[in-house]
Structure 1
Amino acid sequence: MASFCSPSSDSLGGKAKLAHALLLGAAIAASAAAAAYYGRLRRWRTRVVGIIPARFASTRFEGKPLVQILGKPMIQRTWERAKLASTLDSVVVATDDERIAECCRGFGADVIMTSESCKNGTERCNEALQKLEKDYDIVVNIQGDEPLIEPDIIDGIVRALQGAPDAVFSTAVTSLKPGDGLDPNRVKCVVDNNGYAIYFSRGLIPFNKSGQVNPNFPYLLHLGIQSYDAKFLRIYPQLPSTPLQLEEDLEQLKVLENGYKMKVIRVNHDAHGVDAPEDVKKIEDLMRERNIS
């Protein structure tokens, strides 16, 4: 005779089925919640604008944006490269000089006039953002003096920021040539194991005990292109200047010193910026080698 104190095999099977159903239901609910979360994440920071800050006055190279490079103004060549990036909804030039504005309108670029009081490209991008008719989630600051910037790099830093909710800033680095190790115009960067910036410097970092460039160490060169969360960009001008920022004269240090995170991607790119008049010939020679007209 069956004992009333012991459950039957049928009742055990029923309870197992019930537990399985509950677990399955919980798994389905969790899966749906995760799908909804990642769906929102994919839609997050989707509207992207590229801004090319350009000013005429420069202590090292006055009128640099308008210098001719194989028959086109440098600002036009940069704009044309930026337009090839698939993540940008639009590309605009932000300037405080009517000569640059007139030139850019001539080749079809949208132009936003900004104040002469902007201290750097980031502040100029912020002012331009406030004047744009559309709302954007990400702003890409595209340096106008890199006329050979790769569209894939623009797309890379945008996607890096989209994929890092805890970061407000993203940028790119590439391998530093040993001969550029002590050049203060070549900004160096060190990055942690998770791809976030630790520090930027005009000096050699890391700096070893010998005081010499180690040809076997993978030093990183910072590329000037960077993207910002649009909400962060609006508060950036209100952040106090910081000691390291002022000492190194590097605006990205203000971001780090104020406690914000910066995502960094590594790319294979030969940096070809125009810092001085003599750099123009180097760019033109390189373009001829690559059959770029």
Structure 2
Amino acid sequence: MTEKTVIIIPARYASSRFEGKPLALLTGATGVARSLIQRSWDTACEVPGVDDIFVATDNDRIAQAVRDFGGQVIMTSDTCRNGTERVAEALQGLAAPADIVVNLQGDAPLTPPWFITGLIEEMKRDREVQMATPVLQCDGHTLNMFIEDRRNGQVGGTTAVFDRNWDALYFSKEVLPFTDKPYAADAGTPVYHHVGAYAYRPKTLGQYVSWPEGALERLEGLEQLRFLEQAAKVRCVLVEGKGRVFWELNNPVDVARIEGVLKQNGWP
């Protein structure tokens, strides 16, 4: 049986850290500037085996920008509190039902396509999986950066802890599990970095919006914890960075960082 897979990219205009972020222009190696939302769309187009791609937004300017480069838009309300809620609402606007729904963050244009492929393959391999998300094993260099950020009162990334079946036990902005062992820069560690992309079964995604925001979700500011608080299994899928840099665009300073990666790799 062929399972229909769609990618939905949630995008909102309002942001306390970077208003209008999806429309921020990023210049690549050819000197051509493309908006963040267009570059996120281009990333989605690199994922093989996807039947459809949509941008879900509540903003007319973003919607028009997407239509201008030939993308498909689903309009959503302005009451969505996070990307998962926006994707869940957009799912209701699909003309035909989907079997697997992928949430590709609209601020992560450097996400390697094989991260998304890994999620889709895991959902197809194990039909009991309700939701899947990628994790990367931290090397010593990355772990030391996470620990140093926490010492300085900053959040360097989200970590994931999972059981022997790779089903998530917890996600946190703290560095978990605790370890005080020193690691060489290129050594493997017991800490895994969570990458913010998701694949869902439509039924579970639809349930998400009916569940109340959980205490842990509020404390950590992590939308995926709502699934765990409702005893819905989240499968962690191990992926490899393969030397790929994948900055997210969270603040205006990240524009230059992402442009640097685009130019360094010769990407238009």
TM-score by length of 1: 0.81
In the alignment, residue 59 of structure 1 is paired with which amino acid? S
Match of 1:63?
20
Q: Deviations over 1:59-85 (max 9, x none)?
A: 111111111111000110110110121
Match of 1:96?
58
Match of 2:30?
none
Aligned-residue sequence identity (percent) comes to 38
Superposed, which structure 2 residues align to 1:1-293 within 5 Å?
43=1, 46-70=3-27, 71-176=33-138, 177-178=142-143, 179-181=145-147, 182=150, 183-208=154-179, 210=180, 217-269=189-241, 270-293=245-268
In the alignment, residue 200 of structure 1 is paired with which amino acid? F
Query: For residues 145 and 213 of structure 1, what CA distance do their matches in structure 2 show?
Result: 33
In the alignment, residue 275 of structure 1 is paired with which amino acid? N
Give the structure, 1 or 2, with the largest relative contact order (CA under 8 Å, sep 6 or more).
2
Three-state SS of the structure 1 residue aligned to 2:66 is: helix
Q: Deviations over 1:181-225 (max 9, x none)?
A: 3342511111222221111001110124x5x88666232111111
Query: For residues 241 and 56 of structure 1, what CA distance do their matches in structure 2 show?
Result: 22
Count of matched residue pairs: 248
Tell me if the contact between 1:164 and 1:263 (Cα under 8 Å) persists in the aligned partners: no
Three-state SS of the structure 1 residue aligned to 2:160 is: strand
| Structure showing greater Rg | 1
Three-state SS of the structure 1 residue aligned to 2:231 is: coil
Change (3 A) 1:202 1:214: farther
Instruction: Tell me how far 1:56 sits from its aligned partner.
Output: 0.4
In the alignment, residue 127 of structure 2 is paired with which amino acid? P
Instruction: Tell me how far 1:240 sits from its aligned partner.
Output: 2.2
The unaligned stretches of length 5 or more in structure 1 are 1-42
The unaligned stretches of length 5 or more in structure 2 are 28-32
In the alignment, residue 272 of structure 1 is paired with which amino acid? W
Query: For residues 286 and 213 of structure 1, what CA distance do their matches in structure 2 show?
Result: 30
CA RMSD of aligned residues (A): 1.6
Query: For residues 157 and 90 of structure 1, what CA distance do their matches in structure 2 show?
Result: 16
Query: For residues 228 and 250 of structure 1, what CA distance do their matches in structure 2 show?
Result: 16
